[in-house]
Structure 1
Amino acid sequence: MNRLLLRDGEELGPGGWPQTPETTPAERLHTARVGLRLLLAAISSLFLLFLLALLMRSQVGDWQPLTDPLAPLAQPWPLWLNSAVLLAASLCLQGARLAARRSRMATSQLAFAAGGLLAVVFLLGQLWFWQRVAAWGYPLAGNPANSFFYLLTGLHGLHLLGGLAVWAWALATRLRRPHAFAVAVELCASYWHYLLGLWLLLFAVLTSSPQTYQSIAAFCGLR
């Protein structure tokens, strides 16, 4: 039978290996935040590359802007509504974060649940607008501008789905693992804020005029 021994004041586990000290909640939160920052850096790099590709591709003659007078993005009021929903989701997550920091867990759980549900509403709104764009005669392969619209909005939606997977896990385990729930609230709030900022950037780019693309491309040396 392996027995616990002490060597130089250090507790040993089975096999004579030192036991790993249990990390504190603050240490786990710090580690999780570092991991999230690395993830966000990778996501930012991915979208930056796609945006640069969009700017370069928009300078080719076959580019047909979705912001033309009769095109879907000429009056993007559904996307404004979706943006408002995502903003509300981000505010709910921030409320959940503040409530958790004050140990008001019931309020935190309610705001956390509301934020995730609003994110689901945002995704459903995006899917509805996709169907609307396709019904207007702008399919995925119809034009390079169409392809970039579906690609960028779809990638953003997939990253939000990933956040919703963590959100659902946190809700399911909130009673059994309260410390893990508190960490999930912190991380999800930061992730939702990031996705909101990313969406606003994508929205601004996708609804920009060809003249704006030309100016940005010239500024970046892509022309």
Structure 2
Amino acid sequence: MSSPLGGAIGERMPLDAYYADFEQHFWQSADLGFWKLERQQTFQEPGYDSWEAFARGDWGESLRLLEAGRAEMDGYHRKVDRHGFVARRVRVVEEPLSHYLQWELHALRIRSECGGPTRIVRADQVSQFESEAPLPEIYTLGSHVMYQAVYDDQGILESARKFVDPELILHCQKFIQGLYEVGEPLEDWFGDHVAPLPPPCRTSV
């Protein structure tokens, strides 16, 4: 079995145009909600204060900054709720965890506690869909638009692809939802797989 995109390419968008387009469409997702699939195990997020602290090796400060952002995250998801939908995520994980993913799962745990639920799916649970390539980083916004994040060789977001085919969007939304339904809630998974880990070393971002 192959990628849920089925060979579709979409419209390539530079970051500025993508950010504006996403902001416009995100708040109109009430019919099917927001569904995001995250597959890649390592990214870089320059400009995000907690990630910057993690990247320079200050694990304690990184976690402190995540916690300091809890109120803002809670307010964001309250706004999502007022718009009539939930922002759900599926996070594919490979173990042992990359140090980036160790950090990200701390961030996603706070997001989940604030109303943006995440479910964990093991890499072996999606291997049947990866005969040609890893699953894409895709997210559906209601029934009217979907994006694929495009990263450079360093794992930094460089652009996005936009899809507007209703049948493709519905197919991908159902694909992500299917993974979500077989996944384990992050809150349950975190205690055994993330919480016991020592702080990641500085050279392994």
- TM-score past 0.5 threshold: no
Would you tell me which structure has more strand in proportion to its own residues?
2
Larger radius of gyration: 1
Name the TM-score, length of structure 2 as normaliser: 0.27
Greater relative CO (CA pairs within 8 A, separation 6+): 2
